């Protein structure tokens, strides 16, 4: 990749303690020509006269924006590939360095002129660094109208981007995604004002070939002819991918991840990167776009600075879950550990717990919950699971060579009433926690599962889930969950994993099993559960004994209508209407 340096003006802002230490920032535009909207830039930070280790932070402020937006909070990485997808104009890019020993801070701001990719009256389509993601730059459209891009392949099936508002002055940029390799497509923008609409001239473009070593994908039961959409797969041991329902590759993330946790509306994804043999500064949470460019990023060490200021215990690493909330905050699961004496074993024992964090839109901690403060630590993991460094899906830990994997939380959800549903796999419980949209005290409201707070009706001898994944409370009366079945299988040889829906009465503490779908195979780890817009259910058998995974669709009555297998393990999979719409 070739970059052309485009430097405009530097501004230096120093804290009172920053004498002698100077932050330096270079912005390099991708490819030939001037920087324009929809083309990547490489931000490279440096520092002069620093006599101590430093961390770097990147923030941006677009044309007309009053406030800075965090891109990457303080951490050890000094370079960042970043995309300006907004309107043309002057972008301010701030890079700050902070001394780790002294706390000294030096900041520099570069003002970067970014031009419009399209001429005033013309549209343009051009590639990104991702071979299956293109940018469509639509010309300015009248204020009060909206614009989207429609595009189709050779078979004529049309896809569409989300609609965006026009301001009358600036062009509008869109990612085109969900494309197959080595295929011709035609795209046009569609402008709408009230009931009237107008279409631009169709532009033809071709996707290049893609050479990736990916696990095979096999459709075991074809989807109904009317079914459309994408299947996004958070695979382990290879890059995350997406296929259409026929198994054709239509997207991938170009870097390795431990957990692709959730898609976000508009064409974004949340992910966690764990380095279990490294320190907290290498444990990262990020949000990225369809082209793979980072939108937001922080690390466990930076979060620990904020937790310390709140008088709380530190976390070790992010693990298993990150969710974007409707108010723009982020809900994350993190590991904690404590050395306890004569608890869950004789003498001193390292016990790994869970912490639930809520970060604001700039990645600052606004609410935290620690399992050690709210759950019974004398109730050990039901199968006495242990952690060793780098093994067993455990978060990072640092206080001993082996630790008790007490809870092994694996999902979080903001419930419809503003609280949090937390899945504790090694307790066989879904636990509701009092969050109250940030005003809650973190107390346990109830525990759903065997030996919890609910009486259950239906389901025979083993109605309850065990070692479950991806629990969610869909409304005040229904809870959906993927039942791995590990505990049940100890008593029912050959038992399969299940997809379950419970109808619950929270006040009376009663639960009725209304869906108990046998998924036809056993997944001892990983998995997901999702209610689809058509009323059916999507379940993912994440890690079967043959190291493959399956995504399945069941009707409300438990009939299998779609099945696709991937020859590699998947943490989760997601059915999406398209790559913009969870």
What is the rounded average pLDDT of the residues 476-495? Answer: 96
Shared fold status for 3-114 and 449-569 = no
Phi, psi of 306 (to 5 degrees): -70, -40
pLDDT at 12 > cutoff 60: no
| pLDDT higher than threshold 60 for residue 308 | yes
pLDDT band of residue 405 (cuts 50, 70, 90) is: very high
Q: Is the pLDDT of residue 396 over 90?
A: yes
pLDDT digits over 204-245, tens only?
Answer: 999 999 999 999 999 999 998 888 899 999 999 999 999 999
pLDDT tens across 27-79, in order? 987 766 667 777 788 999 999 999 999 999 999 999 989 999 999 999 999 99
Distance CA 126, CA 117 (A): 9
Q: How far apart are CA 331 and CA 521, in angstroms?
A: 32
Mean pLDDT of the 405-433 span: 98
Query: What pLDDT sits at residue 469?
Result: 98
So what's the pLDDT on residue 162?
Answer: 96
Q: Across the chain, what does the average pLDDT equal?
A: 93
Provide the 8-state DSSP code for 311. Answer: T
* pLDDT band at residue 170 using 50, 70 and 90 as cut-offs: confident
190 has pLDDT over 80: yes
Residue ranges with strand state E in 371-522: 386-387, 403-405, 409-414, 420-424, 429-433, 444-448, 455-457, 469-473, 478-483, 498-505, 510-518
Measure the CA–CA gap between 292 and 406, rounded to whole angstroms: 35
Q: Write the CA distances from 513 to 44, 147, 445, 451, 487, integer angstroms.
A: 55, 45, 21, 16, 18
Q: CA distances (Å), 415 to each of 195, 326, 424, 431, 529, in order? A: 37, 11, 16, 11, 15
Q: Which residues pair with 439 in a beta bridge?
A: none
Q: Is the pLDDT of residue 3 over 50?
A: no
**Residue 199 above 70 pLDDT?**
yes
The model's pLDDT over 254-279, given as tens digits with 9 standing for 90+, comes to 998 999 999 999 999 999 999 989 99
Whole-number Å distance between alpha carbons of 320 and 424 = 11
> Which pLDDT tens digit goes with each residue over 116-140?
766 667 899 999 999 999 999 999 9
CB atoms within 10 A of CB 310: 10
SS3 content of the chain, % helix, strand, coil (to 5): 5, 50, 45
Residue 266: exposure state from Cβ atoms within 10 A (0-12, 13-18, ≥19): middle
* 513-541 b/e (C-beta count within 10 Å ≥ 16 → b): bebbbebebbbbbbbbbbbeeeebbbbbb
Query: What contacts 426, CB < 8 A, 6 or more positions away?
Result: 381, 382, 383, 385, 405, 406, 407, 408, 467
CA distance 185 to 153: 5
pLDDT for residue 18:
42
Q: How confident is the model at residue 16 (pLDDT cuts 50, 70, 90)?
A: very low
pLDDT at 481 over 50: yes
8 Å CB contact between 193 and 142: yes
Judged against a pLDDT cut of 50, whether residue 20 lies above it is answered with yes
* pTM for this entry: 0.95
pLDDT at 8: 32
The CATH T-level fold of domain 3-114 is: Immunoglobulin-like (2.60.40)
Distant-in-sequence, close-in-space partners of 437: CB < 8 Å, separation ≥ 6: 327, 418
Q: What is the tens place of the pLDDT at every residue in 444-466?
A: 999 999 999 999 999 999 999 99
CATH class for the domain made up of 124-206: mainly beta
Q: Is the pLDDT of residue 514 over 90?
A: yes
Q: Tell me the C-alpha to C-alpha distance, in Å, between residue 187 and each of 176, 179, 311.
A: 9, 12, 54
Q: Following DSSP, what letter does each residue of 335-382 receive, concatenated?
A: EEEEEEESSSSSSEEEEEEEEEEEE-TTS-EEEEEEHHHHS-TTS--T
pLDDT of residue 74: 98
Class of domain 449-569: mainly beta
- Residue 279: per-residue pLDDT: 96
Indicate the pairing of strand 268-273 with strand 284-289: antiparallel
Least confident of 19-33, 124-138, 338-352, 373-387: 19-33
pLDDT score at 7: 31
577 contacts 228 by C-beta, under 8 angstroms: yes
Pair of tokens at residue 37: 């909207």
What's residue 33's pLDDT? Answer: 63
The answer for 18, left when phi > 0, alpha when psi is -120 to 50, beta otherwise, is alpha
pLDDT at 10 over 60: no
CA angle, residues 268, 270, 128, in degrees to nearest 5:
40
The residue extents of the domains of the chain are 3-114, 124-206, 257-445, 449-569
């Amino acid at each position: 990749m070739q970059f052309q340096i485009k430097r405009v003006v530097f501004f230096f802002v120093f804290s009172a303690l920053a004498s002698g230490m100077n932050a330096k920032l270079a912005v390099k535009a991708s490819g030939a020509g001037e920087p324009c909207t929809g083309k990547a830039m490489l931000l490279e930070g440096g520092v002069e006269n620093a006599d101590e280790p430093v961390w770097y932070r990147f923030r941006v402020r677009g044309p007309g924006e009053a406030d800075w937006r965090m891109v990457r909070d303080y951490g050890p990485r000094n370079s960042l590939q970043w995309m300006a997808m907004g309107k043309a104009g002057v972008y301010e890019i701030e890079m700050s360095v902070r001394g780790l020993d002294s706390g000294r801070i030096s900041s520099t701001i570069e003002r970067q002129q970014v031009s419009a990719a399209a001429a005033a009256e013309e549209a343009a389509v051009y590639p990104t660094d991702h071979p299956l993601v293109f940018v469509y730059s639509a010309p300015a459209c009248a204020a009060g109208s909206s614009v989207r891009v429609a595009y189709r392949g050779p078979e004529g099936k049309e896809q569409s981007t989300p609609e965006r508002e026009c301001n009358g002055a600036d062009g509008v940029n869109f990612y085109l995604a969900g494309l197959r390799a080595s295929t011709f497509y035609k795209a046009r923008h569609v402008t709408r004002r009230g009931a009237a609409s107008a279409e631009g001239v169709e532009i033809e473009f071709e996707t290049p070939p893609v050479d990736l070593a990916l696990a095979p994908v096999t459709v075991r039961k074809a989807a109904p002819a009317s079914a459309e959409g994408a299947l996004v797969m958070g695979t382990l041991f290879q890059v995350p991918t997406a296929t259409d329902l026929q198994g054709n590759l239509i997207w991938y993330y170009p870097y390795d991840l431990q957990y692709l946790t959730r898609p976000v509306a508009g064409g974004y994804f949340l992910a966690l990167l764990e380095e279990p043999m490294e320190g907290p500064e290498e444990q990262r949470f990020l949000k990225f776009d369809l082209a793979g460019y980072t939108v937001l990023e922080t690390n466990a060490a930076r979060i620990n600075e904020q937790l310390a200021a709140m008088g709380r215990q530190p976390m070790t690493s992010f693990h298993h879950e990150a969710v974007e909330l409707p108010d723009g905050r982020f809900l994350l699961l993190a590991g904690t550990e404590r050395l306890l004496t004569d608890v869950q074993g004789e003498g001193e024992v390292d016990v790994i717990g869970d912490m639930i964090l809520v970060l604001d839109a700039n990645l600052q901690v606004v609410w935290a919950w620690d399992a050690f403060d709210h759950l019974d630590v004398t109730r050990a993991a039901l199968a006495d699971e242990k952690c060793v460094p780098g093994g067993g899906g455990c978060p990072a830990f640092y206080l001993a060579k082996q630790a008790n994997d007490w809870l092994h939380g694996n999902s979080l959800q903001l419930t419809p009433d503003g609280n949090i549903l937390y899945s504790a796999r090694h307790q066989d419980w879904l636990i509701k926690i009092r969050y109250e949209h940030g005003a809650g005290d973190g107390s346990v409201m109830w525990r759903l599962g065997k030996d919890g707070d609910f009486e259950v009706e239906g389901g025979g001898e083993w109605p309850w889930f065990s070692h479950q994944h991806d629990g969610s409370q869909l409304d005040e009366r229904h809870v959906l969950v993927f039942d791995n079945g590990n505990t049940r299988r100890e008593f029912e040889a050959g038992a399969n994993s299940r997809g379950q829906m419970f109808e619950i009465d929270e006040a009376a503490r009663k639960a009725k099993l209304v869906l108990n779908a046998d998924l036809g195979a056993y997944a001892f780890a990983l998995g997901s559960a999702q209610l689809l817009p058509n009323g059916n259910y999507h379940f993912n058998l994440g890690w079967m004994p043959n190291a493959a995974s399956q995504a399945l669709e069941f009707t409300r009555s438990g009939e299998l209508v779609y099945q696709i297998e991937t020859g590699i393990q998947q943490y989760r999979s997601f059915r999406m209407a398209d790559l913009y719409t969870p």
